[in-house]
């Protein structure tokens, strides 16, 4: 089998798409760009990537820093990190709103807990906790 060699950017995009789908966020419209930090209002010189999201419209923009070079294993971790930020974006928006409904924050926190619970259960499905 001949595997296609992916660029770091292509690898990051695939990893981000994988995590976004695993977290149940495939309904989001996410634009992913490979940009220099000085050309971005999302990333800083110290960051590998960043994401800006509008949870009410389900749109986001993710930037991978062209000025930073890293291993594919790090890119996968960073993609997971940015997907988690996307997951948390609605919670963060609600928390910043001055006029939050009585149960809005609690309801969103519960949604996040349920998503992460499913992910953790799959991750540890073969672990026998009696032997720990």
CATH number of the domain where residue 20 is located? 3.30.2010
What letter would DSSP give residue 108?
A: H
pTM: 0.83
3-class DSSP state for residue 28? coil
| Domain boundaries, position 92 | 8-126
pLDDT digits (tens, 9 = 90+) for 56-105: 999 999 999 999 988 888 999 999 999 999 999 999 998 888 788 888 88
Residue 1 lies in a domain: no
Give residue 36's region: left, alpha or beta (phi > 0; psi -120 to 50). beta
Mean pLDDT taken over the chain = 88
The span from the CA of 107 to the CA of 130, in Å, is 33
How many domains are contained in the chain?
Answer: 1
| Confidence grade of residue 131 (pLDDT, cut at 50, 70, 90) | low
In a domain, 132, yes or no: no
- Asked if residue 2 has pLDDT above 80, the reply is no
CA 37 – CA 67 distance, rounded (Å)? 7
In a domain, 92, yes or no: yes
Is 3 within a domain?
no
Over the stretch 7-55, which tens digit does the pLDDT of each residue have?
A: 999 999 999 999 999 999 999 999 999 999 999 999 999 999 999 999 9
Report pLDDT for 1. 47
Give the model's pLDDT for residue 104: 87
For residue 91, is it within any domain?
A: yes
pLDDT at residue 31 in the model: 98
């Amino acid at each position: 089998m001949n595997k296609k060699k992916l660029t770091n950017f292509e690898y990051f995009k695939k990893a981000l798409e994988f995590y976004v789908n695993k977290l149940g966020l495939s309904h989001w419209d996410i634009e992913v760009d490979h940009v220099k930090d000085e050309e971005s209002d999302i990333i800083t010189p110290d960051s590998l990537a960043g994401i800006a999201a509008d949870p009410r419209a389900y749109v986001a923009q993710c930037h991978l820093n062209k000025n930073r070079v890293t291993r594919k294993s790090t890119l996968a971790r960073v993609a997971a990190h940015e997907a988690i930020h996307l997951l948390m974006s609605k919670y963060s928006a609600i928390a910043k709103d001055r006029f939050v409904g009585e149960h809005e924050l609690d309801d969103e926190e519960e949604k996040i807990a349920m998503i992460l619970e499913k992910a953790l259960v799959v991750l540890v499905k073969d672990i026998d906790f009696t032997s720990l």
